[in-house]
């Protein structure tokens, strides 16, 4: 018996399907029958199922009882198959690290075997041309998710800052050629090198001015600038998502967004769920690692679901990228991380 027997009895609004679909056949959520002849073939004959089996000497015949019991158990499960399967909100998985070796093609082949879709590229992999990089990735099915920018937009030397802006322009072009969605910018590492005390106003102004200079290039290439707040262990500046959001608002141009790194948020945010509820609308890219030791997702395990839930509420559909160490060797760590991330995303 086929569930089409029951699907065709569901009333459908007059304009639910296009004329093309009506000509080609019946379209349902998750059910496509090629033409009306299929319906006739799949419909059981009138005598195929007895509505009320007759009794013999006041009892059901054993064989008939069993056949009806099987039919009754089967029908509910068939009915369930006509319902659309819940679809995973569109996200893709990428890796910045860990890797067992430095060769880019070997890294891509490993990710392909493990079921990842993308790789994030740091500066060491950005010296070749776009064509050379893409050639190394060819036939692996692995895309470039994002690349790293100049990381010097808050250098105290104006000439170095100007060179950093020019490098970011080049990186935006390179990202466009590679098909990457963004260029990652950490404004600065280490302690403050400006005479400003604890007030970040001077650095905020310099950063906003530099980003505004990049706005035409962002618009032209269609590649985003991703601001990444870091833990205080790595930088004195921009440790929390809210600070990054303020900078984006001050720039006031499209194409600037947050990279929300769950490792740094574990170290700096009071409540990741509340943080992403407030600022997740600015998030366009995600990094993940577990705990202070920054091991692969699922190794503690850290619960990503509250944060993922807020990102889903904001409609997030970008990359989820592993940037971590490994508790053992990279390959099994990445295999476990992939399974854990997908289960956490689905459960969020």
| Full DSSP string of 232-246 | TTTBSS--SHHHHHH
Query: Do 71 and 101 lie in a common domain?
Result: no
Question: Does any domain span residue 86?
Answer: no
Q: CA of 291: how far to CAs of 48, 237, 320, in Å? A: 61, 21, 17
Single residue among 81, 103, 121 that ends a domain in this structure: 81
Provide the pLDDT for residue 29. Answer: 31
Q: Residue 178: enclosing H or E segment and its boundaries?
A: helix 158-178
How many angstroms from the chain centroid is the CA of residue 156? 36
- The pLDDT tens digits for 201-243 are 999 999 999 999 999 999 999 999 999 999 999 999 999 999 9
Q: Cβ distance 130 to 155 under 8 Å?
A: no
Task: Report the relative pairing of strands 118-121 and 143-148 from DSSP bridges.
Answer: parallel
Calpha distance 215→189 (Å, rounded):
23
Calpha distance 216→251 (Å, rounded):
12
What residues make up the domain containing 337?
92-347
Question: Does any domain span residue 231?
Answer: yes
Q: Residue 215: enclosing H or E segment and its boundaries?
A: helix 201-221
In this prediction the pTM is 0.76
Query: Do 25 and 98 lie in a common domain?
Result: no
Query: Do 214 and 114 lie in a common domain?
Result: yes
CATH of the domain at 156: 3.20.20.150
Calpha distance 348→346 (Å, rounded):
6
Single residue among 61, 81, 101 that ends a domain in this structure: 81
Provide the pLDDT for residue 199. Answer: 82
Query: Do 176 and 277 lie in a common domain?
Result: yes
Question: Does any domain span residue 120?
Answer: yes
How many angstroms from the chain centroid is the CA of residue 332? 21
Strands (E) in the chain, as ranges, are 26-28, 31-33, 92-97, 118-121, 143-148, 182-185, 224-227, 256-261, 283-288, 319-323
Query: Do 134 and 279 lie in a common domain?
Result: yes
Q: Cβ distance 94 to 320 under 8 Å?
A: yes
* Total of domains in the chain: 2
Question: Does any domain span residue 151?
Answer: yes
What mean pLDDT value characterizes the chain?
83
Single residue among 81, 100, 117 that ends a domain in this structure: 81
Q: Which residue has the tokens 């889903």?
A: 312
Query: Do 58 and 155 lie in a common domain?
Result: no
pLDDT per residue, tens digit, the chain (348 aa), is 443 333 333 333 333 333 343 333 333 333 333 333 333 333 334 444 344 444 445 554 555 545 544 444 444 443 343 444 445 568 999 999 999 999 999 999 999 999 999 999 999 999 999 999 999 999 999 999 999 999 999 999 999 999 999 999 999 999 999 999 999 999 999 999 998 777 889 999 999 999 999 999 999 999 999 999 999 999 999 999 999 999 999 999 999 999 999 999 999 999 999 999 999 999 999 999 999 999 999 999 999 999 999 999 999 999 999 999 999 999 999 999 999 999 999 999
Query: Do 300 and 198 lie in a common domain?
Result: yes
């Amino acid at each position: 018996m086929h569930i089409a027997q029951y699907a065709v009895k569901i009333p459908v609004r007059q304009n639910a399907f296009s004329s093309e679909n009506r000509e080609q056949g019946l379209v349902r959520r998750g059910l496509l029958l090629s033409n009306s002849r299929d319906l006739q073939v799949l419909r059981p004959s009138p005598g195929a199922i007895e509505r009320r089996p007759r009794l013999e000497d006041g009892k059901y015949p054993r064989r008939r009882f069993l056949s009806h019991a099987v039919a009754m158990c089967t029908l509910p499960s068939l009915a369930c198959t006509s319902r659309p399967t819940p679809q995973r909100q569109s996200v893709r998985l990428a890796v910045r690290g860990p890797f067992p070796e430095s060769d880019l093609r070997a890294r891509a082949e490993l990710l392909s075997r493990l079921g990842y879709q993308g790789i994030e590229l740091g500066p060491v992999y950005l010296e070749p041309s776009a064509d050379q990089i893409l050639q190394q990735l060819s036939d692996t099915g692995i895309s470039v998710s994002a690349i790293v920018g100049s990381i010097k937009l808050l250098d105290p030397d104006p000439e170095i800052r100007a060179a950093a802006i020019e490098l970011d322009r080049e990186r935006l072009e390179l990202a466009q050629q590679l098909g990457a969605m963004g260029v990652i910018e950490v404004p600065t590492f280490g302690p403050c090198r400006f005479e400003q005390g604890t007030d970040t106003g001077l650095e905020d102004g310099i950063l906003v001015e530099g980003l505004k200079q990049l706005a035409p290039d962002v618009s032209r290439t269609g590649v985003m600038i991703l601001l990444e707040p870091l833990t205080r262990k790595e930088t004195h500046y921009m440790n929390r998502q809210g600070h990054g959001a303020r900078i984006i608002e001050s720039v006031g141009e499209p194409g600037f967004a947050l990279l929300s790194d769950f490792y740094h948020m574990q170290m700096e945010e009071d409540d990741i769920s509340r943080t992403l509820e407030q600022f997740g609308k600015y998030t366009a890219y995600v990094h993940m690692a577990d705990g202070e030791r920054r091991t692969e997702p699922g190794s503690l395990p850290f619960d990503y679901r509250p944060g993922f839930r807020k990102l889903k509420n904001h409609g997030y559909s970008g990359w989820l990228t592993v940037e971590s160490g490994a508790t053992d060797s990279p390959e099994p760590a990445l295999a476990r991380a992939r399974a854990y991330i997908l289960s956490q995303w689905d459960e969020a």
